[in-house]
Amino acid sequence: MTPQVLQNDIISNLYSLDDVSLIIFDECHRSVGDYAYCFIAKKYVETAKNHQILGLTASPGSTEEKINEIKNNLFVEHVEIRTDQDSDVKPYIYKVDNEWIKVKLPSEFMDIKKILIEKLRAIYKWLKQQELLNSSDVTKIFRKDLLALDKIINGKISASRDDEEKILLFSAKKFVANAIRLSHMDELIETQGVSALDDYMKKNVKKIKQNTANKSLKELFRDSGIKQILKLIETNKENGIVHPKLEKLSEV
């Protein structure tokens, strides 16, 4: 049974949570927004006589805010962490020998990366000129830095009383949003290959066609460089270019 099926059964009065004594939410980091977990947890707490909730995840979130959001949505009060050194986990952990094998990305992937890096460099240069970044070096700026910068910009927008400054800050916010997208694209082509990048691009193109995309996403996909990447993706697919790590894996 999927969470969505249970949610629908509850809504249709086909199932009652009244006498349920425990619900375990696996992969509980999904408990955000309108995901079914949120609805189920709320109904459970409202209707069950003796409710208990346990959430399990290996990816609770990288910020206190994110973790608290999950806690609130699941009505969880207590959090426990387990590592491979804990006594109740350690007996089941076995030593793993890692051997790193480096593979070279094909030129077809590098052509895509080159466009992405150029776009990122241009954005970072502009943000540095506005004194919002200390560097425009793409090797020194990570996605966490962009996410932190987005929060700073939001704070500046809220505090600003100057219309011109607000216009500039909204432009900066748009650039940061697209930098995050470009950074994600770069990570996909480097670590997973054309197929993963193609899926991501198609999702965004679909949003644009359905008119559910925001302004920054629409502007990004009007860019000639992004259009070129879409063409390169199709060429790679037609030529059967796959990530070299898959070929290397088949040799192991």
**pLDDT tens column, 208-249:** 999 999 999 999 999 999 999 999 999 999 999 999 998 888
Interval 134-150 mean pLDDT? 93
pLDDT at 200: 96
- The secondary element (H helix, E strand) that includes residue 157 is helix 143-159
Give the mean pLDDT of the chain. 94
Q: In angstroms, what CA-CA distances link 140 with 98, 133, 137, 144, 145?
A: 27, 11, 6, 11, 9
* pLDDT above 80 (res 151): yes
Q: pLDDT digit string (tens) for 97-109? A: 988 888 999 999 9
| Dist CA 105 CA 241 (whole Å) | 11
pLDDT at 188: 95
Interval 123-144 mean pLDDT? 95
* pLDDT above 90 (res 62): no
pLDDT at 125: 97
Question: What is the value of pTM for the model shown?
Answer: 0.68
pLDDT at 150: 94
pLDDT at 139: 93
Interval 125-141 mean pLDDT? 95
The position carrying tokens 């607000």 is: 166
Domains of the chain: 3-92 (3.40.50.300), 107-246 (1.20.1320.20)
| Long-range contacts, stretch 235-244, CB < 8 angstroms, 24+ apart | 235/108, 236/108, 236/109, 236/194, 237/194, 237/195, 237/198, 239/108, 241/106, 241/108, 241/109, 241/194, 242/193, 242/194, 242/195, 243/109, 243/192, 243/193, 243/194, 244/103, 244/104, 244/105, 244/106
Q: How would residue 64 be classed by pLDDT, with cut points 50, 70 and 90?
A: confident
pLDDT at 247: 84
| Dist CA 7 CA 119 (whole Å) | 43
pLDDT at 123: 98
pLDDT at 227: 97
pLDDT at 221: 98
* pLDDT above 80 (res 252): no
